Amino acid sequence: MSELIPLIEELITTPGVSGFEYQIAQLIVTKIEDHVDEVKIDRLGNVLARVSGKGATRVLIDAHMDEVGLVVKAIDDKGFVRFEVLGGLDNRILPAQRVIIHTKKGDIKGTIGFMPPHFTTGKERDKVIPAENLFIDIGASSKEEAVEAGVSIIDPITLQRGLDHLLGTRLCGKAFDDRIGCLVAIECIKNLKNQELGADILYSFSVEEERGLRGATVSSYSLKPEIAFPVDTTSSADFPEVKPYTTTIEIGKGPVIRAVDVRFVSNRQPREMLIQTAEKLKIPHQVAVAMGSTNGAAIQLSREGVATCPLCIPVRYTHSPVEIVDLKDIENTIKLLTETLKTIT
């Protein structure tokens, strides 16, 4: 078993819904505080760290801590919990999901109820149920019982799912987006400890990427980087029913050097740094036009501009509790980022 597995499991099972990242932030601080020159949590909740080098260049490694999830918005008279979606969770996957409501009194388990086929017509079963028509059943018989148990408005809610080992080096779980990016950054920090670096390496474990790249907008402004490598996951298209040529990204083919996405074109300097390092060390890699976006779109436009190129880990079934990643891609992403940072002066 890879030595990375326990940390992966710890990162994905620690709650950190977008806007409610305090628990995952504290965990990350404990993982890096002995390996960096400085670490703090800023007013927005970003974890910021620095490793000093000899040169004048400031290089930023960003990975967002938040995960897509839910938040309590109401409790009805019968004790059913109504919720709002935080981030890009697809309504199609919500019915029948097990969830955890994180309350001040502790975690409460529940399930997102759904209408069984016995009570629906064929036409109704073909429809996607809007989130506002769904509810969480925690076993309560009244609003008073739910409140007494600890449920209150704005409690964050995560999908209940752990880490499963599939065939070969494939893993399945929730919140790989972007706890795997956080893992890569943490391992990079460890790998570079006691190295003579030619540049200052700055780290931002940022909040609220899933709700508009909010954390990285603040952290990149305060850290003032000149070069940035946001580390995120990216959706692969190597499974049935994806339209041909949607993207060329596949899991198991190495880290993705994200050249272009819907909000962003990477800068040549950092992109070539990654490509040249990968080619020199024969690290499998993919240069791709990707779907969606990353914190790179916000970081690149910070202050007078930051030369930016995201480095991504390919993942299947993004924003679901059954994301799939290849452990080899994770290991190669760590290697590529670590070795690239050693070359910067």
**pLDDT value of position 90:** 86
Phi, psi of 36 (to 5 degrees): -125, 165
Question: What's the pLDDT tens digit per position in 89-126?
Answer: 888 889 999 999 999 999 999 999 876 666 666 676 67
Does the pLDDT value for residue 262 go beyond 80?
Answer: yes
Domain with CATH 3.40.630.10 in the chain: 5-67+174-342
Give the tens place of pLDDT for each residue, 276-320. Answer: 999 999 999 999 999 889 999 999 999 999 999 999 999 999 999
Q: In this predicted structure, what is the pLDDT of residue 22?
A: 96
178-206 pLDDT tens trace: 999 999 999 999 999 888 899 999 999 99
Under CATH, what is the fold of the domain 5-67+174-342?
A: Aminopeptidase (3.40.630)
Residues in the chain: 345
Q: List active site positions.
A: 209
Residue 52 CA to residue 271 CA, distance in Å, equals 23
pTM metric for this prediction: 0.94
For residue 245, the model assigns a pLDDT of: 87
Using alpha carbons only, give the angle 76, 78, 79 rounded to the nearest 5 degrees: 70
Q: Over the stretch 28-48, which tens digit does the pLDDT of each residue have?
A: 999 999 999 999 999 999 999
Tell me, what DSSP letter sits at residue 128?
P
What angle in degrees, to the nearest 10, is found between the helix axes of 327-342 and 176-191?
40
What is the Cα–Cα distance from 126 to 341, expressed in whole angstroms? 51
Residue ranges of the chain assigned to CATH 2.40.30.40: 69-159
Per-residue model confidence as pLDDT tens digits over 122-160: 676 677 778 888 999 999 999 999 999 999 999 999 999
Closest-CA residue to 309 (of 59, 57, 87, 51): 59
Q: What is the mean pLDDT of the chain?
A: 94
Q: Residue 49 is encoded by which pair of tokens? A: 């760290």
Q: Which CATH superfamily is domain 69-159 in?
A: Peptidase M42, domain 2 (2.40.30.40)
